[in-house]
Chains A and B, each alone.
Chain A
Amino acid sequence: MNIVVCVKQVIDPEAPPASFKIDAAANKAEMHGAPPVIDPYGEYAVEASLKIKEAKGGKITVMSLGVNLLREVVKKPLAMGADELILLEDEAYNGGDGWSTASALAMAIKKKGNYDLILCGREASDTNAGQTGAAIAEVLGLPCVTLVRKIDVSDGKLRVERVNSAGYDVIEVPLPAVLTVSNEIGQPRYPTIKGIMAAKKIEPIVWKPADIGIEASRLGAAGRRTRMRRLFQPVHEGKCELAAGDSPEEMAVNLAKKLREARIL
């Protein structure tokens, strides 16, 4: 099995919401004081690929598109056990949207060739879009199952479970295919010391736009189909009234009384 996993470098989504700041002029956000991470659902996708590799063997290629990619961040999948890292890193990829990102990733996957399975996260923690997997599948003409929680491979086919709001569907899909991975797949493993040492020795391959043969009209800002007009932080007004008391039990009783007084119950 040759597996391509797409992961993205993002600001840390698990940092306390109080450290979230917006640069309104640039329509950009940051987590003050927290270093970037690879996007959590991308990490679940890496975990899924490692499970398949353990069961069936194969090679895992990680792809990441972005600028200012910190090597210690984007190399994490290698430290977890992936084999190869391809970075689409160039200013020209910058300023794009979901459309240009998916186009470039699809072109890079095409150039790499020889793939059986492509994995993405169900949604990136910054865009909260959940479109890249389906988009890559469309460009490459492949079937795609989204929101996958379990993957079994046999006889050139996949048997996957797709999460839905009432449970899950069991779906059969031929290879090659694209899947987007959900957290039910299982907690991503921690890199081992051995893995970290191995990752140190792997040099990422960097592909510029010319390397993947993407037309200028589909690249970065020129390939955009959407425009972000504004980025803002919704304000939460109102204050929390904390129940008083000398013990937790007393506070609990006071909370109950308060709710009754406020006619909430």
Chain B
Amino acid sequence: MSDYKGIAVYCEAKGDKLLPIAAEGLGIGRKLADNLGQELAAVLVGSNIGGLAQQAIAGGANKVYVVDDPLLKDYQTDAYVSVMEKVVKQVKPQVIIMGQTDAGRDLAPRLAFRLGTAVTMDCVDLAIDPDSKRLLQTKPVYGGNAQAVITTETDPQIVTIRTKAMAALEPDASRKGEIINIAAGLEASSIRTKILDRVIEEVAGMKIEDAQVVVAGGRGIGSAEGFKQLEELAKVLKGAVGASRPPCDNGWVPDTVQIGLTGKIIAPELYIAVAVSGSSQHMSGCSGSKTIIAINKDREANIFRQARFGVVGDWKKVLPAFTAKLRELLAS
């Protein structure tokens, strides 16, 4: 049909390490490539990133394309789209997998439209259709109330994948692969945006994405003071505090702890949702948790449809007793 062939994974890194989502992309990419009997390529774009190629090979790539240029130090749409366009025209992959990250959200759609093809954002499952050999892209829609299975009729078929939705391979340092450098060929003047500042707002301490226990509060917590009580419970459980969107919008907690479709996607061992109604958009961010516990005064709240254990009651009365009892139980 077209001369596009193979799977390519756009791999993001932080410092000298590939991001977990890059390893997850390589993991699913390897599976799809094996299914098609084709090659898996990794694409690395940035400044001073040559050292990452071996990690991509250990993660499953047969080939690694590296575009290394000082102008690519920070993600900027114009620069990255133009570089990726060049890579795609040279490599001609049939499928391009990116992460649903800060950069991927921006890069994937723009790249797709530049190449005249479509993108499916935030996929939670990818498979090859046995008949057509096209990529079956499963993605949540309607805020997570439903999922759609979509195929792209043009090549390359571009997707982004959701964090923690696909499995990475165990890194294997004995894997062999080929590293190919591609020149960026960028002109500084082609980059229309300028980054003036980067502001870090993330709270010190444990990040919600790394915590095994997350205590999340919703609109019903009512104030910043209320969240102090959640922090206390989190401390007892050595966990972190997260929130649904309203507490972030109201400034009770930083925006960076928002959990959900447009916040962070997390999958802790234990998720304790307090005064959270359990909207589909919120659950998109935490439904991968091993156990969900809900405290809500409304028996009909949607959160109880997904929780394993719960209490129907006013959190102001429930939480202090719950925290005290757990402290006691954990001390013994």
Contacts and interface: CB of A to CB of B under 8 A. Distances in A.
Interface of A: 11, 13-14, 16-18, 20, 22, 27, 29, 97-99, 102, 122-123, 125-131, 134-135, 137-139, 143-147, 159, 161, 163-174, 182-184, 187, 224-234, 236, 238, 240-243, 247-253, 255-260, 262, 264-265
Given A240-B309, A257-B329, A265-B326, A128 B142 contact: yes
Interface residues of B, number: 87
B149 A13 contact: no
Interface string B75-86: 001100000000
Given A135-B109, A173-B193, A232 B153 contact: no
Contacts of B309: 240-243, 255, 258-259, 262
Interface in B114-141: 114, 117-122, 136, 139-141
A134 B197 CA distance: 22
B189 to A, nearest CB: 12
Given A11-B142, A128-B139, A252 B311 contact: yes
B192 A143 contact: yes
Given A240-B294, A255-B322, A131 B112 contact: yes
Give 8 closest A-B pairs by Cβ, nearest first.
A131-B109, A225-B118, A248-B317, A167-B201, A252-B321, A256-B325, A252-B322, A138-B113
Contacts of B306: 236, 238, 240
Nearest to A229: B149
B237 interface: yes
Nearest to A241: B309
Contacts of A131: 108-109, 112-113, 119, 121
A147 B305 contact: no
Interface in B223-257: 237, 245, 248-249, 255-256
A252 to B, nearest CB: 4
Interface of B: 77-78, 101-102, 105-106, 108-110, 112-114, 117-122, 136, 139-154, 192-202, 237, 245, 248-249, 255-256, 261-262, 264, 269-270, 278-281, 287, 291, 293-294, 302, 304-314, 317-322, 325-326, 329-330
Given A13-B142, A169-B199, A145 B330 contact: no
A225 B245 contact: no
